[in-house]
Structure 1
């Protein structure tokens, strides 16, 4: 994959490997840029931090010409880097980003449209190579209020969590959501709880997240799903890796943006993905180690399937549900222990 990157405040066009750095602003000083490809000089950094931590914000963008400028301009001053990942937009999104003069911006363009997950992965890779402590994801359509960002950062900074995720469906924060979106969210929340094992997490499709870079290094990023189910895959693999995840109440904010998700297709596709991912998770985390949780889950799953196939043979079905419920109870106990260790 060839990526074209545009870094503000460069004095001339330069090239490093398969990265092309184009001039879009006047030369300002001779500081070495805090970027993985730091052989190039000439960028002015915003040296502000959040409680001593370097924050990088990743903004995946596909045809966001109406709101990308507003989104970037709203990023707080304490953020050190803004990674704008243009997923091969066909509108004026890349031109708008080029005109912005904020020296914190690193603009990257995919030559082919690969999906929102792939755009986030590209941003994560840059954050891993840069001097970043916490990586945040914010959509390019201005749905995510930057004023809420400290809520995501504080639990990680304080050592209470490794990964934080916004939650729009508690405390009445869901009121900005359409009924169709809310119904689909509730369904996917319950399916995702089973698939991911994070029974304490709701609103799994919320993409307003923050993760410590030390936790991010545990992932094989190239193995993550690149489409709209990226959030679910990230959660499932976080659970396997033992990453502490926390929900943070954040209001829904909807305005001029238009969702690119086709909900009928998305819910069906994601539900199937979650079923396969559940089997993958319990196999890798529990079953191969003969852990009781995996045995209860797997036995329950098989008995439930047999009970349904045998035209609702109730004794088998009930036995399967009991076994599966034991698996849930044991896993919830494990999660509580993990969360307590983070306090």
Structure 2
């Protein structure tokens, strides 16, 4: 237990046979239960976990026969934690990137009643300097969009999955409706706002390894997540304001329509100007940017 609270950790793992053992071994002694969710791995992740279970009774293996995405894996761990009566549920990915020494810092605001969700952020304490530049750039843009979509203007680094949340807060969320992919963290914040949950930033350091290749496809993720955030923003405004007859909802919707219309006008104007001066089109420029990104990658 940690300060009188039962702590469970959901550990999503997909093809992490090389790092899952180290992730579990470094788990602090105060953690009561470790829910390793093997999201239909094709390697020996489950076998490694079964061996560890013989020595560490805190570990439970949850195996998905079909891949559900990182969000689906986290939710499976959270649900099991609620069934076993955990007071606080945290997330520590199976790739050993999340440094366990920061776990108490995430738990303290919840145990002390200052927040229902403690969100790790690399944007405080200078930890952002260790991020790969393409990830830093993408995270910064998504950070701005997430603030708008979620309504949590005080929350930074939305894609950081190192979080802790109280069991009571989890019960206020419809876990089955949460996004199952990499937009999971964004969806949690958006629905936490609608549920009226308090969220606090906690500076954490994420451990990146030399030569490590992310499973995330940056451009595809940025495009799909941006669309998801726009849709979720409109949903949040509808549920929280318009449906209740609050005038703020009308202003939000009107502002969104004007912004999108303005952006469309700007794009058309720039595209027309490029054609007039014989400089090509915006589509050509976008293609060049994509090729440049691939080259630098």
Q: Same fold (TM over 0.5)?
A: yes
Q: Which residue of 1 aligns with 2:12?
A: 60
Q: Which residue of 1 aligns with 2:87?
A: 133
Q: Post-superposition shift, 1:308?
A: 4.4
Q: Which residue of 1 aligns with 2:274?
A: none
TM-score, normalised via structure 2 length: 0.86
Native 8 Å contact 1:174 1:252 kept in 2: no
Q: More helix by proportion, 1 or 2?
A: 2
Instruction: Give the 3-state SS of the residue equivalent to 1:198 in structure 2.
Output: coil
The partner residue of 1:291 within 239, 242, 246 is 246
CA RMSD of aligned residues (A): 1.5
Q: Tell me, which stretches of 5 or more residues in structure 2 are unaligned?
A: 269-297
Task: Identify the range of structure 1 (296-305 vs 133-142) with the bigger mean alpha-carbon deviation.
Answer: 296-305
Q: Which residue of 2 aligns with 1:97?
A: 49
The partner residue of 1:264 within 211, 219, 227 is 219
Task: Identify the range of structure 1 (298-307 vs 272-281) with the bigger mean alpha-carbon deviation.
Answer: 298-307
**Residues 63-92 of structure 1: per-residue CA shift (max 9 Å, x gap):** 001110000000001010000000010011
In structure 2, what is the Cα distance between the partners aligned to 1:201 and 1:304? Answer: 23
Q: How many residues end up aligned between the 2 structures?
A: 265
Q: Which residue of 2 aligns with 1:121?
A: 75
In structure 2, what is the Cα distance between the partners aligned to 1:290 and 1:306? Answer: 25
Q: Post-superposition shift, 1:242?
A: 0.5
In structure 2, what is the Cα distance between the partners aligned to 1:306 and 1:181? Answer: 29
CA spacing shift, 1:92–1:298, aligned 2, 3 Å: same
Highest RCO, 1 vs 2 (Cα 8 Å, sep ≥ 6): 2
The partner residue of 1:171 within 99, 104, 125 is 125
Question: Which residues in structure 2 correspond to 1:18-167 (within 5 Å)?
Answer: 49-100=1-52, 101-167=55-121
Instruction: Give the 3-state SS of the residue equivalent to 1:56 in structure 2.
Output: strand
In structure 2, what is the Cα distance between the partners aligned to 1:312 and 1:209? Answer: 38
Q: Post-superposition shift, 1:255?
A: 1.7
Matched, 1:300 2:236: no
Native 8 Å contact 1:282 1:297 kept in 2: yes
Task: Identify the range of structure 1 (201-210 vs 162-171) with the bigger mean alpha-carbon deviation.
Answer: 162-171
Native 8 Å contact 1:62 1:89 kept in 2: yes
Matched, 1:235 2:235: no
Q: Tell me, which stretches of 5 or more residues in structure 1 are unaligned?
A: 1-48, 314-343
**Residues 222-270 of structure 1: per-residue CA shift (max 9 Å, x gap):** 1111111111111110111001011101122112653210111111111
Q: Post-superposition shift, 1:289?
A: 1.2
Q: Post-superposition shift, 1:176?
A: 1.6
